[in-house]
Amino acid sequence: MTWQGIEGHDAIAARFAVAEAAGRVAGSYLFVGQPGVGKATFARALALALACEHPAEGLTACRQCASCIQALAGTHPDIDIVEKPPERATIPLDALIGSPDQRLRTGFCWRLLLRPALARRKVSILLDADHLSDEAANCLLKTLEEPPPGSVIILVGTTLERQLPTIRSRCQTVRFGPLAPETIAAILTHEQSTTADEPGVTDLSGIAQAAGGSLQRARLLLNDDVAVFRDRLLTLLAGQPLPGVDLSRETLTVVEAAGKEAPLRRARLRIILEQAVEFFRASLRQAAGGSLPADPTMAAAVQRRQLPGEDADTCLRHTLDALTGIERNANLGILIDAWSAKLEPQPSRG
Ligand SMILES: [Zn+2]
């Protein structure tokens, strides 16, 4: 059973259905969970159902009423979705409260105050809540504190730690867990069967295992360049000693092959570094006598390298730092160079 075609989050859907039946849907929600598990997709489906004129049992939209038709076309006057422009580091203040000459006469917070035009209520979704500047977050506080009666605000972020305490305390938190590998494999199989591309050439269950619960990561791994490089990356990371110069050069080549656009390059570097994080975490577990990862390629690399726990911990921290650097829009070439150099064994000081 999947709720409105969304895999893996039936329990959360059931909670909303109970809340709606009891008339206890809250005014402000904060969705958190790692990227690519379906939080934004869920938020959109929830908006559809909350706005539907005749929702079926279990809070399922009828997909036929005037409200559903507009929502499915993306033109619903009472469903508002704001996200960070890809080229910006944060959500612009103007998107929330209007440009300086239109202050508080346009924007997310202003639109929320309007009476619903079509649906039973207004549903406003703010994606990329991790990227709210302090100023923008402060503008949201009053809206979150006293949302107009019946309206629902959904903020979508990745972790609670990345939200300001003032935002967290005003929202009901909904945690989205990682997707099971079987769920990811089933979605990928379905997607491949509905596209014109030649199906069946890729090891879908292997990719589902390697994706760490994220459908987004699985889709990126499906890309041939990335899938091929993943094996190469694990070979490099398992090298004794680790070939830092090769790692740097080859990583940059794959990142640049993603295209000229910065968001595409950043997404690709993120997935490469996430694989490295997995490798060092697994090495750390192995050094502590824990079990090997389920993914056989990863397990083989970890066993080959036999990294001592202390070194695995240091490398893990350097890799997590590099991941944070991507978010800060750092120069990717410099970032990759610095990361690779830090992973190389340091000459011992006599
Ligand atoms: Zn409907």
- Write the pLDDT tens digit of every residue in 57-113: 999 999 999 999 999 999 999 999 999 988 788 999 999 999 999 887 889 999 998
Mean pLDDT in residue range 29-35:
95
Mean pLDDT in residue range 313-337:
90
Q: Which amino acid is at 32?
A: V
pLDDT tops 50 at residue 350:
no
- Residue 79 C-alpha to ligand 1 middle, in angstroms? 13
Degrees to nearest 5, angle at CA 170 with 132 and 35: 45
- Residue 39 C-alpha to ligand 1 middle, in angstroms? 21
pLDDT tops 50 at residue 18:
yes
The DSSP secondary structure of 257-290, one letter per residue, reads: TT-S-HHHHHHHHHHHHHHHHHHHHHHHHHHTT-
- Residue 14 C-alpha to ligand 1 middle, in angstroms? 18
Please provide the size of the chain in residues: 350
Mean pLDDT in residue range 7-21:
96
Q: Can you point out the beta strands (E) in 288-344?
A: none
Domain ranges of the chain: 10-175, 223-343
Please state, in angstroms and rounded to a whole number, the distance separating the CA atoms of residues 28 and 172. Answer: 6
Instruction: Name residues whose C-beta falls within 8 Å of residue 249's C-beta, 6 or more positions apart in sequence.
Output: none
- Residue 63 C-alpha to ligand 1 middle, in angstroms? 5
pLDDT tops 70 at residue 196:
no
The pTM assigned to this predicted structure is 0.79
- Residue 12 C-alpha to ligand 1 middle, in angstroms? 20
- End-to-end Cα separation, the chain, in angstroms: 63
- Residue 256 C-alpha to ligand 1 middle, in angstroms? 44
- Residue 56 C-alpha to ligand 1 middle, in angstroms? 9
Which pLDDT belongs to residue 2? 86
Which CATH number is correct for 10-175, 3.40.50.300, 3.30.70.100, 3.30.300.90, 3.40.109.10?
3.40.50.300
- Residue 74 C-alpha to ligand 1 middle, in angstroms? 14
- Residue 4 C-alpha to ligand 1 middle, in angstroms? 12
What is the side-by-side order of every strand in the sheet holding 28-32?
79-82, 123-126, 152-156, 28-32, 172-175
Mean pLDDT in residue range 29-34:
96
- Write the pLDDT tens digit of every residue in 126-138: 999 999 988 899 9
pLDDT tops 80 at residue 299:
yes
- Residue 65 C-alpha to ligand 1 middle, in angstroms? 4
Of 197 and 281, more confident? 281
Which pLDDT belongs to residue 1? 60
- Among 232, 214, 223, 187, CA closest to 274: 214
- Residue 122 C-alpha to ligand 1 middle, in angstroms? 15
- Write the pLDDT tens digit of every residue in 259-292: 887 777 888 898 899 999 999 999 999 999 999 9
Q: Which two tokens stand for residue 197?
A: 């591309």
Please state, in angstroms and rounded to a whole number, the distance separating the CA atoms of residues 85 and 74. Answer: 18
- Residue 156 C-alpha to ligand 1 middle, in angstroms? 24
- Residue 73 C-alpha to ligand 1 middle, in angstroms? 13
Of 213 and 200, more confident? 213
- Residue 121 C-alpha to ligand 1 middle, in angstroms? 13
